[in-house]
Amino acid sequence: MKLPEYLHKMRGTTRGSPPRVSNEEILWSWIGAFAGIAIVAWVNRLFFEGTDLTMMIGSFGATAVLVYGAVRSPLAQPRNMVGGHIISAFIGVACWKLFHQFPWLAEAAAVATAIAVMHLTRTLHPPGGATALIAVIGSPDIHKLGFWYVLMPATLGPLILLLVALLVNNIPASRRYPEIWF
């Protein structure tokens, strides 16, 4: 590829960004995200406070953007959402165990491998990258979980968010969820 052609690609293809969604959409995104994250937080507080287990990780915020804010996205469908977190969590924990002497390597390998394996398994879910990274950079508590991290929070959390998405996203006439289960 020639240099001008290469540079030209950086100009983008499109004038004008996609349209803003309606106020109703914004409200339903807010309600879904509020309910989903609140329930995960309450489950964490009621059942796991004072234990070694944790229920809430940062990547759930990103998942909420997709499953409550971009309901139609292929990235937000159940296979991607649950599968992406589980696979990425497993890879994150494995990278930590293998490479924890070299944190930079463990971090980079976790995220990059998570993306690759999510692609391979058709479960690409952007928050999965965060789930893998958190397994490596997470607190000592997270590290102590070992492979329990895959189940708790990385499977249970997305399942709760999925349940809320099914209940909330199908209330408004303008929304339906999911587009595809598997």
Partner 1 sequence: MTDKQNRAQASEPAAEAALEMELTDADILDAMQHIPGYLDISTEDFRTIYHLSHRHATERLFGNTRAENLMRTGITPLQPEMTLDAAAVALVAAGSRALPVVDAGGCVTGILTENDFLRQLEVASLPALLLAMQENTSDLNPRLHAITVRQAMTVPVVTIGRQAGFMQIIGAFHQHAGRSLPVVDEGGRFLGMLLRKDFLHTYHLENLL
> Would you count residue 101 as binding partner 1 (CB under 8 A)?
no
Cβ distance to partner 1 smaller for residue 68 or 96: 68
For residue 97, CA distances in Å to 89, 102, 137, 149 come to 12, 11, 12, 13
Q: Which two tokens stand for residue 113?
A: 């491998």
Q: Which two tokens stand for residue 94?
A: 């494995």
> Would you count residue 19 as binding partner 1 (CB under 8 A)?
yes
Bond from prior residue into 178 cis (ω within 30 degrees of 0)? yes
| H or E, element range at 104 | helix 103-120
> Would you count residue 5 as binding partner 1 (CB under 8 A)?
no
For residue 155, CA distances in Å to 97, 142, 170 come to 20, 15, 23
The Cα 15–Cα 153 span in angstroms is 41
> Would you count residue 174 as binding partner 1 (CB under 8 A)?
yes
Cβ distance to partner 1 smaller for residue 21 or 167: 21
Cβ distance to partner 1 smaller for residue 22 or 51: 22
The separation between CA 26 and the C-alpha centre of its own chain, rounded to angstroms, equals 20
Cβ distance to partner 1 smaller for residue 61 or 146: 61
Q: How many residues bind partner 1 (CB under 8 A)?
A: 18
- x/- string (CB under 8 A) for partner 1, residues 59-98? ----------xxxxx-x-----------------------
Cβ distance to partner 1 smaller for residue 73 or 113: 73
- x/- string (CB under 8 A) for partner 1, residues 22-61? x-xx------------------------------------
The Cα 123–Cα 84 span in angstroms is 5
* Binding interface with partner 1 (CB under 8 A): 13-16, 18-19, 21-22, 24-25, 69-73, 75, 174-175
